[in-house]
A and B are shown apart, each in its own frame.
Chain A
């Protein structure tokens, strides 16, 4: 039996094995995460359906039917399992207010994705450019002003920056729409994405700068120069791949935090994305929706981490061969 398994193992390529191991390791964490979030929502005081109805009394029969529809009378663990079954089979059902959750997701996922991608494009462009420039021209004028500027950018609370930008560029100068998505893809998303990107690039640029300064003085770079490699080859083959390693870890952590940040940005700029959906669902105590969105966030977290590790393997021979 064991010999048989070994033979199968030998046939499976390394990357598939790596992939399978990571997915299997994620399953128990996923169960704990969803169970924990569901328990937290379950423990919230108050009856969600009563609050939805406001002051008007609901007929007992309607209430009973609604409670049965959302399994609200079942014990905790049954409710959790039913929710998970719905999520895994793709039957998302409706919100308490009657909206189709699958439709909501179809509308909202693109909003959050557009915002995140645009913000990351800004952050990466600025971060890579200034980080690399400052790293190679250490103690120059740009480097010094960058250090000061990034310190301020890292320190300003997001809330202050969002409001200030909204007021200055939206209300006063009217360069961008103040809030909402009525004006379509690039225009409506530009302002929030620019603010998120500019706030976020500070950390990236600083990290890249430090990393480049360290790599340029590393022994393997001196060796490469000593054996007579051209400057271009030293830069592209030896310095940059190594200097980018800590940056990739940072990007992974940063992307994973995007969902939490989306709750704040989407509520300030009134963008109907997943963060806003999550916030409304928590306020209305819709356990099913909260767990569904947490599952989505968890899956994207696992996928991002997987991609980061794969990228790490591409860049770092020690990881690839070890």
Chain B
């Protein structure tokens, strides 16, 4: 399912266990991660994708918008390893340039959801009563409508959809799952000795939240977020495929799927973007999985 909420739900349930137990310092965490070959490999792959998104010219010197209609849907040829798309543009260049929207949307949306869900969860967990009620009831409402419907309705009414508008709408509906996870972890942390000690010495609440509660309660949400980044890549592609994501002049893997769906006799139109997008989402998933394993207190014993 490409639905944001169901996605966060399924990984959230697995990440829930990380709430208590001793926490690793950042350096210990990094060292544990670097010992895993699959983590290193996937990080390298992602670095390649990030460079591809930032400077596509490094990978191809061909202009993706230079097209000769006569070559429409031709297979591979010298200098054109992936062949041509329906307009006769070089497909390799198009697939390379398609990395940018996927990387931008997934990273920005995931980071934004992490911040939003994290801060709302902190507030809801630390201030029971009115604040908690307000945030939790809003989350209940958002949980009870299919997120996909809200996404499509809002995006459909926007005339010029940019990457930032898509990220904004994902933020709007994507936070409840992470918020609930964070709220539950904050509940288990808020009455620990170090928090009580800080409160009794008159440390202002904002500082307590920032310095004491957040660092000790963020691990489950972090694991859930990294496991969910790959899903965001798929979500962007699905929205663009449905026609409510990025629009034609911008190049993206989602719109390449949309085109490939109507030209089944030339499978290379589908295979290449599919290969790229799957490599990217699987890399994100393996990294998320490694981080979760490294944070899992039960494996430390």
Contacts and interface: CB of A to CB of B under 8 A. Distances in A.
B149 interface: yes
A167 B6 contact: no
B6 A261 contact: yes
Nearest to A41: B153
A151 B6 CA distance: 17
A200 B2 CA distance: 11
A264 B243 CA distance: 11
B250 interface: no
Interface stretch (B50-58, B107-115, B284-292): B284-292
Nearest to B264: A171
A254 B285 contact: no
A299 to B, nearest CB: 10
A260 B14 contact: no
A133 interface: no
Given A163-B261, A297-B146, A156 B6 contact: no
Nearest to A301: B144
Contacts of A152: 282, 285
B1 A294 contact: no
Nearest to B102: A157
Interface in A271-322: 278-279, 282-283, 290, 293-294, 297-298, 301-302
B156 A282 contact: yes
Report whether over half of chain A's contact residues are helix, strand or loop; otherwise say mixed.
helix
Contact of A260 (B146, B241, B277, B286): B146
Interface stretch (B88-96, B124-132, B230-238): B230-238
B191 interface: no
B145 interface: yes
A29 interface: yes
A253 interface: yes
A253 B40 CA distance: 33
Interface in B10-30: 10-11, 13-14, 17
Given A160-B274, A282-B152, A282-B156, A264 B267 contact: no
Interface in B246-277: 254, 257, 260-261, 264, 267, 270, 274, 277
Interface in B121-155: 137, 140-141, 143-150, 152-154
Interface residues of B, number: 54
Contact of B2 (A157, A283, A294, A298): A157
Count chain B CB atoms within 10 A of each CB in A157, A260, A298 and give the residue with the most. Answer: A157
Interface stretch (A32-40, A105-113, A180-188, A226-234): A32-40
Contacts of B230: 154-155, 157
Interface stretch (A2-10, A61-69, A83-91, A202-210): A202-210
Contacts of B14: 206-207, 210
A267 to B, nearest CB: 7
A37 B278 contact: no
Nearest to A170: B264
A139 interface: no
A246 B13 CA distance: 8
B267 A167 contact: yes
Contacts of B260: 163
B152 A263 contact: yes
A93 interface: no
A157 B276 CA distance: 11
Given A36-B141, A157-B2, A158-B1, A260 B149 contact: yes
B242 interface: yes
Contact of A257 (B9, B234, B270): B9
Contacts of A290: 149, 153
B218 to A, nearest CB: 21
Given A157-B2, A160-B278, A253 B9 contact: yes
Given A40-B153, A261-B1, A155 B282 contact: yes
B145 A250 contact: no
A157 B270 contact: no
Contact of B9 (A29, A250, A261): A250
Contacts of B270: 163-164, 167
B10 A203 contact: yes
B152 A279 contact: yes
A33 B282 contact: no
A317 to B, nearest CB: 22
Nearest to A204: B10
Contacts of B152: 263, 279, 282
A257 B231 CA distance: 14
Given A152-B282, A154-B230, A256-B146, 11 more contacts: A151-B285, A155-B284, A157-B277, A159-B241, A159-B257, A250-B10, A250-B13, A257-B1, A260-B3, A263-B148, A297-B149
12 contacts: A32-B141, A154-B11, A155-B284, A171-B264, A257-B3, A257-B6, A259-B149, A260-B146, A267-B242, A283-B156, A290-B153, A294-B149
The 7 closest A-B pairs by CB, nearest first: A257-B6, A157-B234, A260-B148, A253-B9, A155-B285, A260-B146, A44-B157
